[in-house]
Amino acid sequence: MFTDLAHAATQASWDASKRHPFIQQLQAGTLPGDTFRYYLIQDHYYLHEFGKLHDLAAEQSQDPRVIKQLRAGAESLRQGEIAVRQTFFDRLNITPEEVTNTAVAPTGYAYTSHLYRSLMTAGPAGAVVGLLPCYWLYAEIGQALAGTGSPVPIYQAWIDTYNADDYTGSMKDQLALANYVATPENTHQLLDIFEKSSWYELNFWQMALDHEDWSLTPSKKSSSLSTN
């Protein structure tokens, strides 16, 4: 199946995501609060574009199964992950003004641009596969962290989001959809899209640790991380 090929092709980057300092610190409870705050704001931007991609791909598709699943995925995202994120915003007092005044980071901008390009160049199948690593990798991370958990309640709530039955059920639906849209003719192109999305997932963690912005020189936070 396509998903078997995709998982094998990206095993190294996925393992690196699971071992990334952001994830290790979140589990240990040592992740700085301002870093988690920055991550949430950047992920807020990403998730809204992620939802739009579902709707755009559904509009372009002529296949009833693809349309139905993409619409369901967009609704599940709004009712599930985005809704949970809002509770995090409320707990941390992240205001709409703070979100507006925080620019989308270069990595997040590039990632979402890649997703739109995937739709433009490979059609709805490209969007389905481009979106898949976010669903799938987060579910694997949630499962991996569930046994130990985190001593920080809001970090534990983040872990619980991705180990919940409704989230993993939606992820499995997306796996099935990816296998449905993959063909012998488009598999090579779809694997390239999947691998690039997986690369961006890995670099999203580092973006958060660095508090990445559009400065021409590395931030003090990024410089200190690179020398420790």
Annotated catalytic residues are 134, 201
Using the Cα atoms of residue 218, residue 219, residue 220 and residue 226 in order, give the sign of their dihedral: negative
Question: Cα(89)–Cα(142) distance, rounded to whole angstroms?
Answer: 20
Cβ atoms within 10 A of the Cβ of 96, count?
8
Residue 101: partners with Cβ closer than 8 Å, 6 or more residues away: none
Question: Cα(50)–Cα(79) distance, rounded to whole angstroms?
Answer: 14
Amino acid identity for residue 163 in this structure: N
Amino acid identity for residue 50 in this structure: F
Amino acid identity for residue 173 in this structure: D
Nearest to 55, CA basis, from 42, 72, 39: 72
Contact in structure between 77 and 47 (CB atoms under 8 Å)? yes
Contact in structure between 117 and 109 (CB atoms under 8 Å)? no
